[in-house]
Structure formats: C-alpha cells, structure tokens
Amino acid sequence: MSKFRFTIKVLAVTTFMLTCAMMAQAQATRTWVSGVGDDVNPCSRTAPCKTYAGAISKTAKDGEISTLDPGGFGTITITKSITINGGGAGQGYGSILAAGVAQGVLVNITDPADIRKTVRLNWLDINGASTGTNGVRFLSGNALYIENTNIDGFTGDGVNVINNPVAVQNLIMRNVTIRNCATNGVNISNSAGTANATVLALDNVMITRSGNNINAGNGARGQISNSYLGLSNPGSGINASQGTSPSQIAVNDTTIVGNATGITVGANARVQIARCVITSNGNAMALTGFVDTGGNNTIMGNGTNQAPNGNPFPQN
C-alpha cells in the first residue's frame, strides 16, 4: 500500500510539472485582441482575446500584444517586459477606459530573471473619464516607452513615475498627447537621489490643461524637445524641484504658453532652455533655482517677463 501511495505521489508531481511546462510553452511571442474576441481563446490571430489583461497571461516575456480592430480592451497590470500595440496605419485603435480606477496601465516588473524590464505602449487611447486616478503608473522596471498615445481626463497624473531605490528608470515618450489631468500631466518622483534618478526623454509631446504639465521632482534628469506645454492654471508648464536631490532638465524647441507660470525652478534645481517660446503665461518664470540659456529664446507677452538667471551656454 505504501508503494502504491508513493507511486501516486510521483505521478501527481510529474503531472503538475508537465502541466506547468505545457502552460509555459503555450505562451506565444505574439498574441492578438479584438473587440469581438473572447478571453477563453488562445489569443491567436484567428481566435483573439477580448482584453489586454486576458492576452498578457498568454504572451511570453518580451512578446507583443497586437490589436486587430477598434475596441475597449480594459485596464491592465504589467509584470513582465512586453509590447502592447493598439494598432495604427490601418489597424485597430486600442482604447483603455479607466473610469473610477487607480490607473489605466500599471507597470510593476520586479522579476530578477526579466533582464530588460521594459514596456512599450504604442497607439493607445487611455481615458480616465474624469474619475480615474492615473493614466499610466510606472512603479518598477527599467524603461517605459509611450508612443503615439492619448491620455486624457484623470484626477491625478497622466503619467506617474515613482522611482524605486534599486535602479535607474527611463521614461521615453514620443508623439504623445496628455490633457485634463488635475495633478500633473507627467509626474516624476525619485526616491533615491541622483544615483538612481529617473531619466526622461520627451519628443513631440503636447501636454495641456493639467495641474503642472510636467512636474520634474527629486533628481529627475533628461530632455524635452519639440513639444507644447500649455494652459496649466494654477500650475506651471515645467515645475522642477529638488526633493532628495536637485532636478536638471534641458528643454529645446518647445512652446510654453498660457500657464500660471511658464517655468518654476526650486532651490538648486536647473533648467536649460534653447530655442523655446515662453509667452502668454502669468509669469514667465519663478526662480529659486536656475534657468540657463542659449540666448536664443523668445520670452515675451507674459504678465511678467522674467529673464533666465543662470549661465549662458553656446547657441551653436
């Protein structure tokens, strides 16, 4: 009888291991969602899933979820490197309705075996319907790419980045529109000083009607290029502050217009500006820290036209 029980236990363990192996093998590098899909499907192109959350469990690490046609695909928590492609250039357009919830997309990758710890969000429309808290929340991971995406109508932040104390985080955004976010359009909050600072690279980004369009706090570093930061009241187009360490942001070829303050710089923080237009703000700048200049900016038509107070640098 004891030999029989031992055999049954061995068979049970073997069956469990085989099941886990089959589940791992079942994860595909590319999966698909459709507005008329079903999450019981394998998420193949001919049998797509209904939601991004349903597809992510069937998608391998570093894989991609593609969108076949327009639809609402639900909020999602991401715990592994992955690409979510809402579809452009004739494909579908992925909608995430985040009304009344904490965030539309939560990125929280902590698995040591996930080397890249990178998420790519492309061609999405993330809508808080004026009741969702945050559009995208980047809690843990190495890099977050957001491209060709609209984020609208949140009571907190459009993009919320809270840096963990163990690694540098990168936020890269291109061709992104953020509007109507009550606290900040983009909020960077680094908890561990410059050694683990959040590094941002924003290109062709339009942020409007948010508390601060960009809040670069606690040691944020990076570049903003070819962008529009406007209509923030009572906030700033850019608010750079020190916190645990001073932030330093470079801004070029960007329009900052219609805010209560164009650029606010806290103690010891720095903003470098080149070829920027700062106009129609209540105040051009509020300066406790420093704004360095290339001497080639247009600062005019503000309630008060403060001049940069930092170092000049070559105009090139």
Distances (CA, A) of 96 to 128, 231, 316: 9, 25, 43
Distances (CA, A) of 193 to 67, 170, 217, 233: 39, 15, 10, 29
27 part of a folded domain = no
How many domains does the structure of the chain reveal? 1
User: Which range marks the domain in which residue 184 is found?
Assistant: 61-299
24 part of a folded domain = no
Q: Tens-digit pLDDT profile for the chain (316 aa)?
A: 555 454 555 445 554 444 444 444 469 999 999 999 999 999 999 999 999 999 999 999 999 999 999 899 999 999 999 999 998 765 668 999 999 999 999 999 999 999 999 999 999 999 999 999 999 999 999 999 999 999 999 999 999 998 665 567 899 999 999 999 999 999 997 655 555 678 999 999 999 999 999 999 877 899 999 999 999 989 999 999 876 677 899 999 999 999 999 999 999 899 999 999 999 999 999 999 999 999 999 999 999 999 999 999 887 6
49 part of a folded domain = no
168 part of a folded domain = yes
Distance CA 169, CA 192 (A): 11
The answer to whether 72 touches 95, Cβ cutoff 8 Å, is yes
CA angle 249, 253, 254 (to 5 degrees): 70
CA 101, 56, 54, 30 torsion: positive or negative? positive
CA 278, 186, 244, 223 torsion: positive or negative? negative
31 part of a folded domain = no
Please indicate, yes or no, whether the overall pTM of this predicted structure exceeds 0.85: yes
The answer to whether 240 touches 287, Cβ cutoff 8 Å, is no
172 part of a folded domain = yes
66 part of a folded domain = yes
Residue 97: CATH number of its domain: 2.160.20.10
312 part of a folded domain = no
Distance CA 138, CA 118 (A): 11
Q: Which two tokens stand for residue 88?
A: 């452009």
